[in-house]
Structure formats: structure tokens, C-alpha cells
Amino acid sequence: MTQITEPAAPPGAGIVLRALRLAFAALGILALAWIPVRNLDVDAFSTANYFSYFTILSNVLAVIVLAGGALADPRSTAWQLLRGATTVYMVITGIIYAVLLANVDVMLQDEWINALLHRILPLVLLADWLIAPPRRPIDDKSSLAFLAFPLLYGAYTLVRGPIVDWYPYPFLDPREDGYLQLAIGLVVLLIAMVFMSLAVNVAGRIAARWRYGRPAPSRLLGG
């Protein structure tokens, strides 16, 4: 796969964008580290459980993407695909939280951490994707391939859950309503994630057309 580059942004805009990325990456690192560090001496706290939340994993990726974009701003195909995938995961995090988890205890009792990881950073990643979209659009096949990670996460959770008798989210917990109800819910969730992934991709294409003008007539990223 050949490397594809993007035209450089105006110097002033690039500096501002990088500074904002770095600031939000620092906030993300602080939020992600705060709860584990604060609970180092708490026997009931499980680091393994903490890093078994999709919110935490998606935000770790978000911090990596924001920090990488701030410090190096890579233009390679692989990096743009990582940006796209991470944006999808953060959009999933934000929407699923708003629809299913807003009134559920998900281990984030600190309101500023809860707001940052579930609301603010998902919006930041989406805004970053729209402000600085990849020059070449990503094809739909690649955007659907982004969902491999949520699928692997779901499989990991369902395998680990019975072993440790703990599930991170009610919609992944079969103990109350059984596996049939769980399966129906997961199918609906998967369909929703497909639409989210495609929507993020389409939004990036529209943003690229608006920022860069008519797309170059070469192949799509991932194609």
C-alpha cells in the first residue's frame, strides 16, 4: 500500500490545532490515570476490570491519536486509518453512554472524568476528524473493518465475564435476562455501530471535499 500525503494546513492553523490536540491529550491522560492512582491502596479496585471498559480502551486510543497528531501529525495511510477507527470508537462511546448508560454506575463517579471521557473527548475526536480530514477518503469496506475491535471486545467480555463473575455494562450481562435477550440486543447494537462507522466516514469525506476541494481521482484509502 503506497503512502498518501495530505496538503499542509496554513502554519497558524496548524499550530493552534496541534496545541489543542496536546491539551486534550494531557487532560485525557490525567483522567485515565486519576482513578487507578487514587485507588492503589483500595483492595476492592481491580485494574483488570478498569481496563475492561470499552470507554477506557477507546479513550486510551484517543489520547494516542491526539498526542501523535500534536507532536508529529503523521500523514501516512496507516495513521489516517487509525484516526478514523479511533474516531468511530469514540463516537460509539459517546452515543452508547448517552442512550444506555447515562444513569448507570460505570466506575466513573468523578463527574469531571465522566464528562471528559464520555462526552467531551468523543466530541473532540469527531471535531478533529472534521477539521483535519484525510486528503483521500476512506472506503466503506475499511470503515466497516474498524468494527473488528468492538467485536473482539464483546467476545472478550462475554468469555471473561463468567470467569470473574463481572461484566462492565448491563447490555453485555446475560445473568438477568439470559443469552437470547443478550443476543437480540447485541444484534441491534451491531447494526447501530455499522451506521455510526459509515456516518463518521461519510462526514470525513464531506469535510475533505469542503476543505480540500474536489478529491483527487486516485483510489480510496484502504481500497
The runs of H, that is alpha helices, within the chain are: 11-38, 47-50, 54-71, 77-96, 111-115, 121-131, 140-145, 148-164, 178-212
- 220 in a structural domain: no
- 163 in a structural domain: yes
Q: Within 10 A of 86 (CB to CB), how many other CB atoms are there?
A: 24
- 217 in a structural domain: no
- How high is the pLDDT of residue 12? 61
Pick from 6, 63, 61: nearest CA to 29: 63
Number of domains the chain is built from: 1
State pLDDT tens for residues 36-66.
998 888 888 999 999 999 999 999 999 999 9
- 123 in a structural domain: yes
- How high is the pLDDT of residue 102? 82
- 221 in a structural domain: no
CB proximity list for 31: less than 8 A, separation 6 or greater? 59, 112, 113, 116, 117
Residue 200 structural domain: 11-212
- 218 in a structural domain: no
- 219 in a structural domain: no
pTM: 0.90
- 98 in a structural domain: yes
